[in-house]
Amino acid sequence: MSLNCPLDSPRISIITPNLKSLSFKVHIAIHQHQVIIDTPKLTYIYVISGGSVIDFVIDSTVLDTADIDLTHFSFLSIREGMDSNEFIPQICKFVARLSSVRELHLESNMNLFAYMHSVGSMPLFANLSNGRMALTGSSGVNNFLLFLHIAPNLKEVFVSLSYEEGNPLADMTQSAVIVPGLLMNKLDYVNITGLQGNDDEVNLVGYILKNAIGLNHLYILVDVDNAVEDEVARVGKQFKFCKDCFNLPITSSTARVVFSGQYVRATNVTAISHNEIVLRL
């Protein structure tokens, strides 16, 4: 079933006992929508939401794949009268009820996992083996660390980090989060893009290299912000980030680490065996 929900529908109920696949889009909201989903046999859900409170009447325990785009929650939604203190908890509740999925694609400009952590309501995605995430905001690293902690059986994950300034949703719950170590026995492949070379990103790489005991591939794609006007300073920042990453201890003996940026590219093979880093100038 595919739905394109209009702006003038304050409450939408989807009640289909035998439905297995559901896709719907709710436009950026001027007034808040409420979407009620009662689909106990649902295995796939695709949602683009711009300000709606979404909830399952019952937890869909057979749900296998979820593709959720929450990036349409914007400053406009808040400015037009939506209360973020009301809908952020509701959206977190919806995401938590996706915890049966084996595959999760999530795009968000809200600090969902940091908020869940702050109120003590972290879900457990015990079945999740494949994740793709696009996280916006200054706490994107914290959110990704928290996500790793609640997905202990994750095998493959792609994450894109974006540092968007001036977004009140992305800047909520910015306080540092201390994430305890958790051995990730099954994590095999990690791809991280959008890194800037900051200290918290070095800590993120270190957390993965330390706790992913069966890791085979870690790809680190770096794009130092052009706000650093001096190109020599950008090269230096990227070089330091690369060096810091390769100085981290690696638990998995089979891990291949690939570092790629505008100016520096390296692998742990070249960095360790040949003591060589290739500069692209």
Summarised one tens digit per residue, pLDDT across range 6-50 is: 555 567 788 888 999 998 877 655 455 677 888 889 999 998 876
- To which H or E segment does residue 128 belong? none
Parallel, antiparallel, or unpaired for β 52-56 and 103-108?
unpaired
- Residue spans of the domains in the chain: they are 2-279
Q: What is the C-alpha separation between 238 and 263, in angstroms, rounded?
A: 7
Summarised one tens digit per residue, pLDDT across range 138-161 is: 678 888 988 998 898 999 999 999
Residue 205, pLDDT > 60, answer yes
Q: pTM of the full predicted structure?
A: 0.84
SS3 content of the chain, % helix, strand, coil (to 5): 25, 30, 45
Q: Answer positive or negative: Cα dihedral of 230, 232, 233, 238.
A: positive
Task: Between 172 and 150, name the one with better pLDDT.
Answer: 150
- Residue 278, C-beta contacts closer than 8 angstroms, at least 6 positions apart: 264, 265, 266, 270
